[in-house]
Amino acid sequence: MSSQIGRKLKVSIFGESHGRGIGAVIDGFPSGMTIDQEKLARFMDRRRPGKDKTSTPRRETDQPEILSGVLDGVTCGTPIAAVIANKDQHSADYKNVAHEARPGHADYTGYLRYDGHNDVRGGGHFSARLTAPLVFAGGLCLQYLEQRGIYVGAHLASVAEVQDDRYDPCELTAEELLAPGQRAFPVLRESAEAEMRDVIEQARQAGDSVGGVVEVAVTGMPAGVGSPVFDSVEGRLAYGYYGIPAVKGVSFGAGFRASEMRGSENNDEFYIRDGIVRTRTNHHGGILGGITSGMPVMACIAFKPTPSIAIPQKTVDYVRMEETVMQVKGRHDPCVAVRAVPVVEAVTAIVITDLLLEEGK
């Protein structure tokens, strides 16, 4: 099956943006977990569109209907299937541009891949609408991990040129990690909100869009999880992150900055605190040789600016084979990175849960 991730915990996502609904099938989720429905709803609400001017005005309630795998609020261990209805589609926005390739979007490549049978309305299966069931699955995994003292949190590290503070890579507490997710706008430095909203609004009013970076961290991660070479924790996480639409870069720890440091600077010296091996710095992002070190796992994920913008752009009609100019209609996020923050948390939680279940840890 396509659009699936995981080995022991298999999460499969289905649906199209303007079809009847979207959903997830989660196979391998442990039995006996009581789902905190309120917490799950709050988490899903963080991704929901239509809340303010930083997101698309499309209004969706995003309430999952659980069809199987949960009885009286407790997971059964059998496949969990959930559907989310699509309610606020404006398919007419896509009528005239059915064969005009939106620059930066997947219309043309989707047409090639599916011989013209892909649903282009609202981006079809390429739409970020599909991240709603991903967030549902990730929300369950977050609860599973939290019961084991493992916390996943993320924030908007930057939008265009505006920077937030960064997580403390060594002494990060669960409270600091989760604080941005409890705010209406997911930043660490509260004054960054106004600056970021400003730059997004300026782009929106100009019919343009901006990109951003999401920083994610995992605390309480047991040491010794993962494998070298292709099954590295970096590899498994990056595979998940690149499943999120609009992701164009992933780095761990110091990332590309490590290439500019001397070994003496980049190496994280070991020491022992309360009988536990730790490092004094965390340029390695909690992963060495593909295996967790016990330090916080730290990653940054770069999101490109939203491809659908109102500014006229040159493109082609790939059926008529004609060059043309198009102005994208419809309702779009002026900065996808804002709503992507819980999506990054969800993917991280799914991958970490899968790794732990696979290794029986």
Ligand X SMILES: Cc1cc2nc3c(=O)[nH]c(=O)nc-3n(C[C@H](O)[C@H](O)[C@H](O)COP(=O)(O)O)c2cc1C
By the criterion CB under 6 A, which residues form the site for ligand X? 56, 105-106, 123, 126-128, 131, 244-246, 304, 306-308, 332-333, 336, 339-340, 343
Identify which of residues 127 and 315 has a Cβ nearer to ligand X in the complex: 127
Least distance CB 106 / ligand X (angstroms):
4
Identify which of residues 234 and 333 has a Cβ nearer to ligand X in the complex: 333
Least distance CB 304 / ligand X (angstroms):
6
CA distances from 56 to 14, 23, 53, 114, 322 (A): 21, 20, 7, 27, 30
- Residue 28's region, left for phi above 0, alpha for psi from -120 to 50, else beta, is left
CA–CA distance, 261 with 267 (Å, rounded to integer): 9
Least distance CB 94 / ligand X (angstroms):
11
Identify which of residues 47 and 284 has a Cβ nearer to ligand X in the complex: 47
Query: Minimal CA–CA distance to 252: which of 263, 241, 265, 261?
Result: 241
Strand pairing of 162-163 and 270-273?
unpaired
Distance between first and last Cα of the chain: 27
Identify which of residues 233 and 309 has a Cβ nearer to ligand X in the complex: 309
Identify which of residues 56 and 143 has a Cβ nearer to ligand X in the complex: 56
Identify which of residues 128 and 300 has a Cβ nearer to ligand X in the complex: 128
Query: Minimal CA–CA distance to 106: which of 245, 293, 309?
Result: 245
Least distance CB 99 / ligand X (angstroms):
17
What single letter denotes the amino acid at residue 208? D
Identify which of residues 283 and 339 has a Cβ nearer to ligand X in the complex: 339
CA–CA distance, 167 with 169 (Å, rounded to integer): 6
CA–CA distance, 93 with 103 (Å, rounded to integer): 16
* Crossing angle for the helix pair 233-241 and 336-358, to the nearest 10 degrees: 140
Q: Which residues pair with 80 in a beta bridge?
A: 26
CA angle 66–43–242, rounded 5-degree value: 90
Least distance CB 251 / ligand X (angstroms):
17
Identify which of residues 278 and 304 has a Cβ nearer to ligand X in the complex: 304
Least distance CB 299 / ligand X (angstroms):
16
Least distance CB 102 / ligand X (angstroms):
7
Least distance CB 90 / ligand X (angstroms):
12
Contact between 65 and 280 (Cβ < 8 Å)? no
